[in-house]
Amino acid sequence: MSMRGPSEGLAIPYKTYLAEDEVPRQWYNVRADMSQDHAPILNPGTLKPMTVAELEPVFCTELAKQELNTTDRYLDIPQEVRDFYKMYRPSPLIRAYYLERALETPARIYYKYEGNNTSGSHKLNSAIAQAYYAKEQGLTGLTTETGAGQWGTAMSMACCYFDLALKVYMVKVSYDQKPYRKTVMQTYGAEVIASPSDTTQVGRKMRAEFPDSNGSLGTAISEAVEAAVTSEGTRYVLGSVLNQVLLHQSVIGLEAKAAMDKLGVYPDILIGCAGGGSNLGGLMSAFMEDRLAKRRAPRFIAVEPASCPSLTRGRFAYDFCDTGQVTPLAKMYTLGNGFMPSPNHAGGLRYHGMSPIISQLYHDGHIDEARAVEQGSVFEAAELFARCEGTLPAPESAHAIRVAIDEALACKASGEEKTILFGLTGNGYFDLLAYQQYNEGSMSDFIPTDADLARGFATIPAFEGLQ
């Protein structure tokens, strides 16, 4: 396939930026508009809905309030957070003109690019908000986990900005495979610990039981929560799944919609990769507002790896958010808190569960489709995109690219001129090991069998009358 097309030139705007003062002043809380709220998160001890008072020992108070907020449709973005956003927002909305040309598709493809900051992904949008509320509360430190490393990097930047100490439990396989991520975090002053570690009870137990463990996000979460509740002036922060994170990430969709309004276009299809669901929740926010108000809406597609298929093959059930079973119970699509994802799947989409908001919207048909894609075809899409559009995508983002390409090719076959919007959540500069494996032909796809999934499902707690 030639990357060069007819030379009539680029007659349409390639990048659309909002002006700096057009960056949203408020986040959108989709939960206030959902006809069916997600089932409440429960205290596993009492099986009663968690209260702010119960969340406070773990989370910053203001974030605990955001987590449980079902009424305020819009929340003000604090001025200090907007000041920080200025360093890298607004992010561009880009017409994938060169990709369209290579595909010879009549579809118009747009992407919202969130990789233009040192953390390399959208995660900074929530990291800076969470650090801000911790500082406001007078806390001195935060703990968190990181899988592929983007969240830990984003949190280290945010904590550095607000002068907070940060401990990052990094899933061991990434710790070993992504030494440069570690270096960036340390450069911003964070302490980085390979998980499972011997610094927590949960970690020591894991290491005793599974000495060869590569770690998992679920275990790293348990460790970070334990470290937070056992240290003075310290709370825990999470980079996805939670309602507060989707709230902060709504800035992506609000900006995307404002930019598309400027161009006078509206997406027919909106595509986002889904790990814990935060970028998808963020990108679709302003458009989901349209759907829930029964105006218009794109077809929403969530894309997940075939190796960790929580939406397409998981159960919609109450489960722990972590492997150590120390977190509240959330009703979500889950593969079971004990599900051990394949270490050979690149990137950060390996969480066993899915955001309760995304889960509920999917369950109710407001998210139209979930699609699982295999790693080989994801990297094929990543390579084509990199060659056409000049940006090396993060492997996570490439899941969305895969489906955007497939939809554009379907348009080519049918002759339909659909408008496609997808989230390019990050760049792939720290994922070169995966690209190297793809280039060498040594990359493998791992798709769990039904028996593999059954082992995970067996770890979903069975509380009487709950499921």
Binding mask 281-320 for ligand PLP (x = CB under 6 A): ----------------------------------------
What helix, strand, coil percent values describe the chain, rounded to 5?
Answer: 40, 15, 40
Which listed range, 24-32, 46-54, 273-281, 318-326, lies at the site for ligand PLP (CB under 6 A)? 273-281
Decide if residue 143 touches ligand PLP (CB under 6 A): no
Under 8 Å between Cβ of 285 and 314:
no
3-state secondary structure 46-99: CCCECCHHHHCCCCCHHHHHHHCCCCCCEEECCHHHHHHHCCCCCCCEEECHHH
Please count the CA atoms within 13 angstroms of the CA of 236 that sit on its side-chain side. 24
Binding mask 331-350 for ligand PLP (x = CB under 6 A): -----------------xx-
Residue nearest to ligand PLP (CB): 426
Taking the C-alpha atoms of residue 127 and residue 132, their distance in angstroms, rounded to an integer, is: 9
Under 8 Å between Cβ of 371 and 301:
yes
Decide if residue 234 touches ligand PLP (CB under 6 A): no
Residue among 360 and 397 whose Cβ is closer to ligand PLP: 397
Output DSSP code: residue 190.
-
* Among 253, 305, 338, 426, interactor with ligand PLP by CB under 6 A: 426
Nearest distance in Å: CB 184, ligand PLP: 13
Coil vs helix vs strand at 299? strand
Q: How many residues are there in the chain? A: 467
Tokens of 188: 């911003």
Decide if residue 277 touches ligand PLP (CB under 6 A): yes
* Among 425, 430, 434, 457, interactor with ligand PLP by CB under 6 A: 425
Decide if residue 275 touches ligand PLP (CB under 6 A): yes
Taking the C-alpha atoms of residue 460 and residue 276, their distance in angstroms, rounded to an integer, is: 17
Taking the C-alpha atoms of residue 108 and residue 101, their distance in angstroms, rounded to an integer, is: 10
Residues within window 115-134 making contact with ligand PLP, judged by CB under 6 A: 121, 123
Nearest distance in Å: CB 304, ligand PLP: 9
Decide if residue 90 touches ligand PLP (CB under 6 A): no
Residue among 123 and 257 whose Cβ is closer to ligand PLP: 123
Nearest distance in Å: CB 245, ligand PLP: 7
> What is the contact surface with ligand PLP in residues (CB under 6 A)?
121, 123, 150, 240, 273-279, 348-349, 394, 396-397, 425-426
